[in-house]
Amino acid sequence: MYSDIENSRKWGYWNISSSNPLIIAGPCSAESENQVLKTARELKASGKVHLFRSGIWKPRTRAGQFEGKGHVALEWLKNMREEVDLPFVIEVANTRHVDHALNASADALWIGARTTVNPFYVQEIAESLKGTDIPVLIKNPIHADLGLWLGAFERLEKSGLHNLAAVHRGFFASNSAPFRNDPRWEISFDFRRAAPAIPIICDPSHIAGKRELIEQITQVAMDIQMDGLMVEVHHSPKDALSDSDQQITPGKLISLLKELDLESKAVTPRELQKLISDQRKILDNLDKSIVDTLKKRMKIVDELGHIKANNNASVFQMERWFDLLKQRGYQARELGLSENFINELFQIIHKYSVEHQNEIYQHFRDKE
Ligand code: PEP
Ligand code: MN
């Protein structure tokens, strides 16, 4: 949301900014030469895609899932580049991958979330890239540790790599509603503050986990001035061997990019600060009243705890708990709030209420 002139950043061959975003698209995994070519041809025809992405070694959470086609798929990508004229970027997670990628003259590399998390891997990759200045994208680590993310950039920079960009792909969420990974947008603000020259590309596919949610995430990414998008695209998403739920067709990507609002959010830093601080004042007041209400609630919990302890009634009453969740769930639905949100909130409120009443019980017993 800052003016574009001061926000133009360079990565690889491209000068990018949120009004001129870098678009990286392609399948989660290269599955066959035909799939690569078919998807790439459609993307190229749109004239909107700068770089073709595709995983060839796939880091899968569970054993036995499709782990990618391996280095044979590099031949398909090289043929695609020759025929379709799109440069390609692949994921590397160890030095063997780097050797294969450099031999195939990959145009760029990305380091995945499960690799950024481990400084040993990042260091080895950094050392094996010494002497090249290949453009590298570094995805955020799985958990929300800004230091670890920045540390990966430092390791590559120390190896002489300066063509670096960040990919914000969200952070592990124990509950995948509504998104597979929690966006935690504030972490990208912190990243930008710490490293203002480094472009930040949003990966809405891994944040969303579901194709229906990709559009709203891409718009947020553009509104907060990210410099590009990395989107998983497959010519037939339902047949994809990995991440099938979150892939979209090339046609869908193209219409989504046409719909994206890149212009209207441009405001100066001062206007933006004012807008944000006005809204924050309102939030501060609301938050204060939430805490006041919680204090009042805890007072009743305390009185109830004494009544229960005096009458030897049990603290946790299952029926009451399910009834509370049901009632508040109805209320949330009526108000158009997420039921999951209210459910999780009350789990915490209830946990601390039960803990408080257990303390009252303990105190009561100690006196006996
Ligand atoms: C991917 O981009 O396909 C991938 C494995 O991503 P991440 O490292 O973000 O999970
Ligand atoms: Mn994927």
CA 274-280-282 angle, 5° bins = 110
Chain mean position to CA 1 = 20
**Does one domain contain both 71 and 159?**
yes
Coil, helix or strand at residue 88: strand
Percent of the chain with pLDDT over 90: 79
- Kindly state whether residue 265 falls inside one of the protein's structural domains: no
Residues 347 and 222 in one domain: no
CATH number at residue 150: 3.20.20.70
- pLDDT of res. 367: 82
| Residue-range definition of the domain harbouring residue 198 | 9-259
Residues 248, 274 within the same domain: no
35 shares its domain with 69:
yes
The ranges of the chain with pLDDT < 70 are: 1-6, 263-271
Distance from the alpha carbon of residue 289 to the mean position of ligand 2, in angstroms: 42
Out of 259, 281, 313, a domain closes at 259
Is residue 242 within 8 A of residue 65, CB to CB? The reply is yes
- The total of other beta-carbon atoms located within 10 Å of residue 248's CB is 23
| Residue 41 shares a structural domain with residue 96 | yes
Q: 183 and 76 in one domain?
A: yes
Question: The whole model's pTM is what?
Answer: 0.76
Shared domain for 245 and 274, answered yes or no, is no
204 shares a domain with 322: no
**Would you state the pLDDT for residue 19?**
83
In sequence order, what E strands does 143-199 have?
Answer: 164-168, 171-172, 181-182
Which pLDDT value is given to residue 265? 55
Give 301-359 pLDDT, tens digit per residue.
999 999 999 998 888 888 888 999 999 999 999 999 999 999 999 999 999 999 999 99
**Residue 1: predicted pLDDT:** 40
Q: Would you say the CB of residue 139 lies under 6 angstroms from ligand 1?
A: yes
Q: What are the backbone angles phi and psi of residue 26, rounded to the nearest 5°?
A: 155, 175
Burial class (CB in 10 A: 0-12, 13-18, 19+), 204: buried
The response to whether residue 55 sits with its C-beta less than 6 Å from ligand 1 reads: yes
Burial 24-41 (b: 16+ CB within 10 A, else e): bbbbbbbbebebbbbbbe
CA atoms of 88 and 29, how far apart (whole Å):
13
- pLDDT by residue (tens digit) across 283-294? 998 999 999 999
pLDDT at 190: 92
2 part of a folded domain:
no
Residue after which a domain boundary falls, among 259, 293, 317: 259
- The domain total for the chain is 2
Give the CA distances from residue 119 to residues 134, 155, 261, in Å, rounded to whole numbers and listed in that order: 20, 9, 38
In a domain, 186, yes or no: yes
pLDDT of residue 84: 98
Check whether residue 239 and residue 325 sit in a common domain: no
User: Among the three residues 259, 288, 320, which one is the final residue of a domain in this structure?
Assistant: 259
CA atoms within 13 A on the CB side of 115: 24
Do 34 and 55 share a domain, yes or no?
yes
Is the C-beta atom of 28 inside 6 A of ligand 1?
A: yes
* 312: CATH: 1.20.59.10
The best mutation among 94, 169, 205 to test binding of ligand 1, ranked by most ligand atoms within 8 Å of the C-beta, falls on 169
**Could you tell me whether strands 14-16 and 9-11 are parallel, antiparallel, or unpaired per DSSP bridges?**
antiparallel
Residues 282 and 254 in one domain: no
